[in-house]
């Protein structure tokens, strides 16, 4: 059936709310038609990725909207930018790119977006509830919203994200619909040793392995411990959205739409089933390392942005020790979490230990890291996946425990004992 617009949609399309809203509605309508949606639906919020500077076209588009008076019609958060405004001294790029990136940030703020500058809007107090329709961009945020919160968003990339935020409307298609949210492929981790599944490091590795296999399908994980933490689920989703096109997954007993396998699959049992072994995970872990160099130049944690519980673990691991003087240590996080660190006195403790906080952006997309001599180590599968190509670095993936011990010693060390059965 062709797309049907209601009177409100047609009015926006006809320009009754001005040229910016008309342009935004044209983008939404054309997308809806390409997705074969029959109508549009209301959204309660949006998260914008277009604020990350990639070139002149993105700035031109945002400034055209802002110049024509565009205003978002729903609460709208902003993804990471290309600058850390709280630590501007870290920027190592050219002046022209810096100025263009700042102009882009200004344009989105002018449209009424909240200057959150985080890839993890789900770490903020206000976040969508089960069943709410939103238009979120940023791959890890999309998969977290769908899988962990049970909110509903399709993949909203650059320009479509802000168009949906301005109109307050999105195509009634894709992962907004019940039928698209059911799992069609199952992954069983019951054969993985319990001691490995009890560690945070297992979950980004599981996500990396699954992402390479599922494409854009919706998987369900069975055999994992019940009640997985949000940070472990974040690890699965962000890794799978990097190695593949994961936009939603279920974990039986942990995610809200998977109290059991039958519910996760919409009443059907998937015929496509995979048994994940410890050997599979060891292979996936090794795929995230491209360096054999023992000398360590840097660690970069927090991609997606580190949460308060993750910082608590980092503080615990550091104790009263300091980072080796030849190692640069970075932790990426959002402003809301950084504020909480200040309130708890943790920011000072981290600085004293030699840890540099990075806010508003991320070290694999913005030139903020110092010259690195040796391997860069991370506990993030997403960072490990993108940093070699983006930054040209030699990268080693490991647990946060591995990263901290390596940073203190000044050389790459990994606890292979947890993988001994793999």
Same domain for 42 and 111: yes
Q: Token match 């580190």: residue?
A: 306
**Residues 306, 138, 46, 81: is their CA dihedral positive or negative?**
positive
- Among 246, 277, 308, give the residue marking a domain's end: 277
pLDDT value of position 421: 66
* Closest residue by Cα to residue 135 from 109, 166, 108: 166
Q: Has residue 355 been placed in a domain?
A: yes
Same domain for 325 and 261: no
Gap between the Cα atoms of 218 and 222, Å rounded: 13
* Closest residue by Cα to residue 285 from 364, 340, 222, 209: 209
pLDDT value of position 293: 83
Token couple for 241: 């959205």
DSSP letter string, 240-263: HHHHS-----EETTTSTT-SSHHH
Token couple for 80: 């990471």
Same domain for 146 and 125: yes
Q: Has residue 34 been placed in a domain?
A: yes
* Enclosing domain of residue 70: 7-179
Same domain for 154 and 119: yes
- Among 254, 277, 300, give the residue marking a domain's end: 277
Other C-beta atoms lying within 10 Å of the C-beta of residue 252: 21
Same domain for 212 and 159: no
Same domain for 168 and 37: yes
Q: Is 147 helix (H, G, I), strand (E, B) or coil?
A: helix
Q: Has residue 283 been placed in a domain?
A: no
Q: Has residue 350 been placed in a domain?
A: yes
pLDDT value of position 327: 97
Q: Has residue 2 been placed in a domain?
A: no
Same domain for 173 and 87: yes
Gap between the Cα atoms of 191 and 257, Å rounded: 24
Same domain for 334 and 259: no
Q: Token match 């492929």: residue?
A: 185
Give the single-character DSSP code of 394: -
> Measured in whole angstroms, how far is the alpha carbon of residue 279 from the centre of its chain?
27
Model's pTM, two decimal places? 0.96
Give the single-character DSSP code of 39: S
The Cα-based distances of 287 to 81, 147, 174, 219, 385 in angstroms read 28, 25, 31, 21, 9
Same domain for 195 and 59: no
Gap between the Cα atoms of 16 and 20, Å rounded: 10
CATH of the domain at 160: 3.30.499.10
The Cα-based distances of 90 to 78, 277, 322, 383, 413 in angstroms read 21, 42, 21, 19, 28
Gap between the Cα atoms of 167 and 138, Å rounded: 19
> Measured in whole angstroms, how far is the alpha carbon of residue 147 from the centre of its chain?
13
pLDDT value of position 260: 96
pLDDT value of position 166: 98
- Could you give the number of structural domains in the chain? 3
Along the chain (422 residues), what's the average pLDDT of each consecutive run of 10 residues? 94 97 98 97 98 97 98 98 96 96 98 98 96 98 98 96 98 97 97 95 98 95 98 98 97 98 93 93 96 92 98 98 97 97 97 98 95 95 96 96 98 87 60
pLDDT value of position 270: 86
pLDDT value of position 148: 98
Token couple for 285: 């872990």
Q: Has residue 282 been placed in a domain?
A: no
Gap between the Cα atoms of 422 and 414, Å rounded: 15
Helices 400-409 & 308-318, crossing angle to 10 degrees?
A: 40
Q: Measured between alpha carbons, how far apart are the two ends of the chain, in Å?
A: 52
pLDDT value of position 422: 54
- Among 257, 277, 297, give the residue marking a domain's end: 277
């Amino acid at each position: 059936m062709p797309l049907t617009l209601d009177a409100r949609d047609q009015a926006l399309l006809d320009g009754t709310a001005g040229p910016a809203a008309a342009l935004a509605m044209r983008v939404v309508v054309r997308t809806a038609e390409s997705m074969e949606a029959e109508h549009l639906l209301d959204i309660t919020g949006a998260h914008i990725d277009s604020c990350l500077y990639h070139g002149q076209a993105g700035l031109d588009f945002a400034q055209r909207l802002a110049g024509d008076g565009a205003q978002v019609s729903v609460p709208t958060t902003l993804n990471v930018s290309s600058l850390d405004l709280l630590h501007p001294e870290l920027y190592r790029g050219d002046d022209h790119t810096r100025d263009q990136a700042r102009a882009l940030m200004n344009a989105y703020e002018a449209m009424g977006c909240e200057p959150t500058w985080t890839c993890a809007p789900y770490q903020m107090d206000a976040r969508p509830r089960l069943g709410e329709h939103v238009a979120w961009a940023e791959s890890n945020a999309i998969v977290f919203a769908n899988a962990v919160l049970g909110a509903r968003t399709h993949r909203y990339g650059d320009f479509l994200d802000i168009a949906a935020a301005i109109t307050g409307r999105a195509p009634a298609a894709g992962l907004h619909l019940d039928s698209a949210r059911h799992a069609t492929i199952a992954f069983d981790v019951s054969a993985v040793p319990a001691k490995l599944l009890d560690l945070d490091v297992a979950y980004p590795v599981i996500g990396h392995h699954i992402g390479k296999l599922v494409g854009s399908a919706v998987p369900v994980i069975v055999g994992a411990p019940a009640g997985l933490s949000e940070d472990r689920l974040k690890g699965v989703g962000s890794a799978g959205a990097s190695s593949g096109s994961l936009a939603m997954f279920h974990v039986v007993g942990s995610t809200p739409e998977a109290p059991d396998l039958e519910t996760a699959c919409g009443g059907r049992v998937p015929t496509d089933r995979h048994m994940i072994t410890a050997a599979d995970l060891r292979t996936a872990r090794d795929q995230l390392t491209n360096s054999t160099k023992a000398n360590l130049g840097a660690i970069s944690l927090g991609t997606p942005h580190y949460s308060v519980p993750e910082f608590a673990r980092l503080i615990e691991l550091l104790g009263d020790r300091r980072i080796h003087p030849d190692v640069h240590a970075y932790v990426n996080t959002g402003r809301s979490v950084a504020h909480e660190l200040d309130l708890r006195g943790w920011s000072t403790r981290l600085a004293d230990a030699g840890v540099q906080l990075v806010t508003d952006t991320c070290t694999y997309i913005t030139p903020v890291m110092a010259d690195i001599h040796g391997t860069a180590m991370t506990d993030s599968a997403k960072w490990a996946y993108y940093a070699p190509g983006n930054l040209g670095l030699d990268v080693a993936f490991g647990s946060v425990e591995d990263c901290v011990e390596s940073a203190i010693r000044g050389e790459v060390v990994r606890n292979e004992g947890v993988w001994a059965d793999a």
